[in-house]
Structure 1
Amino acid sequence: MYLHTPITVAVIAIPALLGLVLPAAQAQEPAVPCEKNAAYRQFGFWIGEWDMFNSEGRLVGTNRIEKLLNGCLLLEHWTSARGGEGNSIN
């Protein structure tokens, strides 16, 4: 009797391969980890449009914070009252 015929190899190998592949597929991270994991949302309070004032109450600039790349990146757009502009990525 031959144990290593193509059919017996397939009968033995396919379940073994499925045992390796299926758990790995189930253990994958979510497609949008930054949206699903609370650790990535710690700066969520910052998102929006903000007016910036000095200690005397005068407007010194504006800030717009937006979420990009499925929540994995925050982009800051700032403009000073004097016309300066800039961006930051967090």
Structure 2
Amino acid sequence: MKLVVIFSLLMSFMAPVSAATLCADNAYKQFDFWLGNWQVTNPTNNNVSQSKITKIIDDCVIFEEYSTPTGYQGKSLNIYDKTRDIWHQTWTDNSGMLLLLEGSFKAGAMVLEGQLTNDKGQVSIQRITWRALTADKVSQIWQQSSDDGKTWQTLFDGIYRRVD
């Protein structure tokens, strides 16, 4: 019983320290250029996809909701990990893919990388780069390497145009 009371007291003292205060560091704002409602296009097709990027959980997490006219949907959670000084993204979609990426903001771009294993057990490196071209236009390039980064194939070359 004493442990419950002590825990309750500790939590009540911690409550005034909001998560917004904990995530107020400028590093948490490095990906803010991506926030907004977007139409997404790429040179490989004429489909216009939609992407809504918002901050959630007291502005500590960036939440992405992506959908295409063909029914493809994906969502990601993005957070700056202060303890390791890196950005992390967890991406999931309606094909069952889980992609875990990590990286940093450097030279004016957010660059995240991770590994993906296909159905045959082959591992490839995935690299996604986001860059603000203007306040209302963001470039996203998704690349894959099957030879440990010696060569890269572009999987997606998207342009986000702000609609809000």
The structure where helix makes up a greater share of residues is: 1
Q: What's the counterpart of residue 58 of structure 2?
A: 70
Aligned length: 60
Q: 2 CA distance for matches of 1:80 and 1:56?
A: 14
Distance 1:40 1:63 in 2: 20
Residue 45 (structure 1) aligned to one of 33, 58, 63: 33
Give the match for residue 7 of structure 1. Answer: none
Greater strand share, 1 or 2? 2
Q: Provide the identity percentage.
A: 32
Q: Which runs of 4+ in 1 moved over 2 A?
A: 56-60
CA distance in 2 between counterparts of 1:82 and 1:56 reads: 14
Q: Deviations over 1:10-67 (max 9, x none)?
A: xxxxxxxxxxxxxxxxxxxx63221x21111100011101111121672341100010
Q: Which amino acid aligns with 1:55?
A: P
User: What TM-score do the two structures reach when normalised by structure 1?
Assistant: 0.58
Contact 1:41/1:71 (CA < 8 Å) preserved in 2?
no
1:41 partner letter = K
Which consecutive residues of structure 1, in runs of 5 or more, have no partner in the other structure?
1-29
Instruction: In structure 2, give the amino acid aligned to 1:62.
Output: Q
Equivalent position of 2:67 in the other structure: 79
Please name the residue that 2:143 is paired with: none
Gaps of 5+ in 2: 1-16, 79-164
Root mean square deviation of aligned Cα: 1.8
Out of 20, 23, 33, the residue aligned to residue 22 of structure 2 is 33
